[in-house]
């Protein structure tokens, strides 16, 4: 089951996108220094396709992307939800923020336009920190992934360049 706690319009979670970010609870991860411990709890409302579609329709004219924040506890339902959203909103880009180190092997990652991977580690910092362990990838049609993480450091080190393309298989659990 997927549950959500809240949602917001955000401009800084996915480069060049205006995103409707939905925060999911039931997080199974145990990141040291978790920035949102309440998201580990069984709280919120069930995130059904009908409920999510209703929220999206309220903001559709102003957003370019849906960003699901969490869902690691039920990636099968998450993938099914994303697949249904592709049909219902074919021009809406889809992003998944996961706390996992690697993608679930069974997931067809091409259902997403963007995937963020990596647990939160306080000493390394979030995506905006050049020392971060986390990565945000853009999923390409040939099953390679562009590492967009340096875009978050635009004002610090990289001048916003995309620095790496990696094969999908390197990010799958063995
Ligand atoms: S992925 Fe990590 S930081 Fe995010 S809610 Fe879960 S435990 Fe907390």
Residues 46-85: pLDDT tens digits? Answer: 999 999 999 999 999 999 999 999 999 999 999 999 999 9
Atom number in ligand 1 closest to CA 99: 1
pTM of the entire structure?
0.90
Ligand 1 pocket, residue 120 CB under 6 Å: yes
Dihedral Cα 115, 116, 118, 120, nearest 10 deg: -150
Tokens of 7: 């949602």
> Do 112 and 139 touch, CB atoms closer than 8 A?
yes
Protein residue with least CA distance to atom 8, ligand 1: 34
Q: Is 63 exposed, middle or buried (0-12, 13-18, 19+ CB in 10 A)?
A: buried
Please choose from 40, 96, 122 the residue to mutate so as to test ligand 1's pocket, defined by most ligand atoms within 8 A of CB: 40
Rounded Cα distance between 76 and 140, Å, is 21
| Ligand 1 proximity of 34 Cβ (cutoff 6 Å) | yes
pLDDT digits (tens, 9 = 90+) for 117-128: 999 999 999 999
Beta bridge partners, 10, equal 19
Q: What is the pLDDT of residues 127-156, one digit of tens each?
A: 999 999 999 999 998 878 999 999 999 755
Tokens of 106: 């069974």
Question: Chain-wide mean pLDDT for the chain?
Answer: 91
């Amino acid at each position: 089951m997927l549950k959500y706690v809240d949602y917001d319009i955000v401009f800084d979670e996915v480069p060049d996108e205006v995103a409707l970010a939905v925060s999911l609870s039931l997080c199974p991860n145990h990141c040291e220094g978790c920035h949102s411990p309440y998201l580990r709890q069984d709280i919120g409302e069930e995130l059904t396709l009908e409920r999510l579609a209703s929220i999206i329709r309220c903001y559709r004219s102003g957003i370019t992307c849906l960003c699901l924040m969490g869902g690691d506890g039920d990636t099968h339902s998450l993938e099914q939800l994303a697949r249904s959203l592709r049909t219902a909103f074919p021009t809406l880009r889809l992003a998944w923020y996961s706390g996992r180190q690697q993608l679930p092997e069974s997931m067809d990652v091409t259902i997403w336009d963007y995937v963020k991977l990596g647990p939160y580690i306080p000493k390394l910092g979030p995506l905006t920190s050049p020392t971060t362990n986390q990565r945000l990838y853009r999923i390409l049609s040939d099953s390679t992934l562009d590492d967009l993480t340096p875009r978050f450091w635009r004002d610090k080190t990289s001048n916003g360049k995309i620095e790496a393309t990696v094969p999908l298989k390197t990010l799958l659990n063995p």
